[in-house]
């Protein structure tokens, strides 16, 4: 974890000061530390450079970990199924199968082959319009960040670091990646470490609805579909405003207000307020942001395919039906 973050962190449970016992560090980072809240006594830690600031009794669902656990159990119970997946030809696999095989190859150290399959899976999983619109949003946001004087970006709900990688590859900025899953953090951080970005990226694990940052301590924040991947977001926008002292950039994929089928599915997951433009803008404004919509592009999206070999495994839960979606960047500037 970047050393300079130490002065920006508080206990995410009660927002009081932390007591630090740094066990290992270097000029840039804290590698290992035990941390305790001076008020409520909650304990946190840094291990192998990754800070864990998860609070107790967190209810958010970690769907990535659930899928991994399911696959681990599935392959242990049916080794032949895994062998079938690993020996299958490309035309025998769906995009979902390809993503799983790519992850297995990566764990085996076959990074080049894993990336090839991951790229093929991405092209098969999403429509041409979706892919083109997403690429344009990445380029637009990276160009905005290049113009900023700040040297650090905090990315919310980074997952496998799709946006984080683009920022690291195409700018000189440092990035603090964040997520709810320690498993995902370990994988993503290891990949970036092996690519030589150790001195420019940190990874913190916490619940985005209860972050460990001090009030108004983060000038620049980003997220790639992060607002839209947290079930029942509750006070998420209020918490982001609490810690943001400048601008928050969210790459979004917004559902049409007239799309009854997809809106019904969003309602089921408690995500409608994050996917419908009018509701999202109202939410940001009501939680202390001035809002601007940038680089709107409309493109068709379709449901992503499920596995052919690994039956029942999917990629995205949304959309559930074809639709025209607005790809854009929502820029929120804190009013404080």
Domain end point (choices 88, 107, 124): 124
**C-beta separation of 223 from 251 below 8 A:** yes
Where the chain has pLDDT below 70, the residues are: 56-69, 149-150
The predicted pLDDT at position 331 comes to 97
**Do 277 and 314 lie in a common domain?**
yes
The predicted pLDDT at position 151 comes to 83
- Count of structural domains, the chain: 3
The answer for 60, left when phi > 0, alpha when psi is -120 to 50, beta otherwise, is beta
Asked whether residue 57 is assigned to any structural domain, the reply reads no
Asked whether residue 58 is assigned to any structural domain, the reply reads no
**Do 168 and 304 lie in a common domain?**
yes
Q: Which residues contact 257 (CB under 8 A, 6 or more apart)?
A: 263, 276, 277, 278
Nearest to 335 by CA among 282, 285, 273, 292: 285
pLDDT single digits (tens) 232-277: 788 999 999 999 999 999 999 999 999 999 999 999 888 999 999 9
The predicted pLDDT at position 336 comes to 72
Quick count: other Cβ atoms within 10 Å of Cβ 6? 17
The predicted pLDDT at position 65 comes to 52
Average pLDDT, the chain: 92
The predicted pLDDT at position 246 comes to 93
**Do 76 and 219 lie in a common domain?**
no
Q: Could you list the residue range(s) of the whole structural domain that residue 170 is in? A: 127-334
Asked whether residue 195 is assigned to any structural domain, the reply reads yes
Q: Retrieve residue 141's tokens.
A: 């946001």
Domain end point (choices 124, 139, 172): 124
**Do 73 and 219 lie in a common domain?**
no
**Do 222 and 112 lie in a common domain?**
no
**Do 285 and 160 lie in a common domain?**
yes
Nearest to 216 by CA among 66, 15, 28: 15
């Amino acid at each position: 974890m970047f050393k300079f973050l130490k002065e920006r962190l508080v206990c995410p449970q009660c927002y009081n000061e932390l007591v630090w016992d740094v066990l290992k560090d270097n000029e840039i980072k804290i590698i290992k530390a035990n941390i305790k809240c001076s008020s409520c006594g909650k304990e946190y830690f840094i291990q192998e450079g990754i800070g864990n600031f998860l609070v107790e009794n967190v209810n958010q669902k970690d769907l990535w970990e659930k899928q991994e656990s399911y696959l681990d159990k599935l392959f242990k119970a049916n080794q032949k199924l895994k062998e079938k997946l690993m020996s299958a030809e490309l035309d025998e696999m769906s995009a979902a199968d390809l993503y799983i095989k790519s992850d297995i190859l990566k764990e085996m150290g076959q990074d080049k082959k894993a990336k090839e399959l991951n790229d093929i899976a991405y092209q098969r999983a999403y429509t041409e319009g979706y892919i083109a619109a997403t690429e344009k949003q990445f380029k637009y946001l990276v160009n905005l960040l290049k113009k900023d004087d700040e040297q650090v970006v905090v990315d919310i709900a980074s997952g496998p670091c799709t946006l984080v990688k683009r920022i690291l590859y195409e700018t000189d900025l440092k990035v603090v990646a964040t997520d709810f899953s320690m498993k995902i953090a370990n994988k993503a951080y290891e990949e970036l470490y092996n690519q030589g970005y150790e001195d420019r990226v940190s990874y913190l694990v916490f619940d985005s609805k209860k972050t460990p940052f001090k009030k108004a301590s983060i000038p620049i924040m980003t997220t790639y579909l992060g607002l839209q991947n947290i079930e029942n977001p509750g006070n998420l926008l209020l918490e982001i405003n609490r810690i943001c002292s400048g601008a928050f950039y969210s790459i979004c994929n917004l559902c049409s207000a007239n799309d009854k089928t997809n809106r019904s599915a969003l309602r089921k997951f408690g995500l409608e307020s994050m996917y419908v433009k009018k509701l999202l803008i109202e939410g940001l404004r009501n939680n202390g942001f001035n809002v601007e919509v940038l680089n709107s592009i409309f493109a068709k999206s379709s449901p992503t395919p499920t596995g052919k070999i690994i039956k029942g495994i999917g990629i995205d839960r949304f959309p559930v039906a074809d639709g025209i979606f607005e790809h854009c960047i929502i820029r929120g500037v804190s009013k404080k």
